Structure 1
Amino acid sequence: MNISHPGSPHSSTDRTRRAAKRRLFLAKVVTSLSDKLACFCTTCARLGSQLSTKRWWGKAMVYVERDQQQRLLRVSYEPFEGMNEVLAIESPELHDWLKTKEEVKARLDSLNSSDLELVRVLEDVVIVLVDRGVIQYTDLPEAARTKLDQRAIARADLEGLTHEVDVKP
């Protein structure tokens, strides 16, 4: 007869606790894998929209070009001139490279946007300096005067069109 005492390794309470711990552990593992899979799928989707697939021993691969310091320069699913390696798309290095590339693009977009705003500020500064007699408009290089004139005309035309749109029902 097999009688289990509370606290013995064979008691139903201990088995229930161990089973609960296993379920909790497995739930954590599944959650972690799900998170990693979601991140991987996002990366794959991003890559998939830019590239087509190449398989190497059952893994999705990309062709890469590296510089002399072994930094990634270019990535493609299609072979290209200058490629010197293949890399698995689930590679952390590729994931980091794509993330950095997106950061650089976002920062460049931000700079481009601020450049357009700065152009308008510089136009206003030139107008103020000319109006106050600090500089003569003719002191500016001819190319700068031409650009300023073109922008002033375009802005005046746009203001006229905007006024017509506002006036008409």
Structure 2
Amino acid sequence: MKLTVGEGGTAEGRFLPGTVSFMIARPHAAPSLSGVADLLAQDADERPAQAGPGVLADGTTQFVAQLAVPGAQHIGMSTSGGPMLRHVVAMAMSSFATLVADGEGGFLVRQGGPIGLWDTVEEAISMWRNAGAPPQTEFGLTVTPDRQRVWLGSPEGPFWELPARPLPPGRIRVG
């Protein structure tokens, strides 16, 4: 990424060619997954998934998913030799999404907590695909003293506000 520094502590620029993955701005350990089993056992809504866990394997699509839910972690687990389950968990927001094969070539998503994590991921991926699935060089970043915004196309285009500090529960915003 190449940023041009502006007045008042601002900077802006586009992502450079190559594979970009989301990285936390401040060095610190990933959030603890202590209590994830209790979180995943909570009541949840289930529906057919529009996008399966394969979207998390592609570099640009994974980047878009991480922009949509910056406080979440992707983990894979199986229990007692059962099928591999893919989870997206945001412990600080007490939210989770679990993707399970539906036996017919698709996936079901089971979501719980105050934030529909997979709904948010699917919305962001759909917006990116509707824009023609552009490469990461079409994304840019605007930084001010109190915010970080990743945008697609131009600073006025679709954008994602990233936390400049840890977000309190329920503060994910997609513009």
Q: TM-score, normalised by structure 1?
A: 0.23
Which structure has more RCO (C-alpha within 8 Å, separation ≥ 6)?
Answer: 2
Q: Which has the higher strand share?
A: 2
With normalisation by structure 2, the TM-score equals 0.23
Q: Hey, which of these two has a bigger chunk of helix by percent?
A: 1
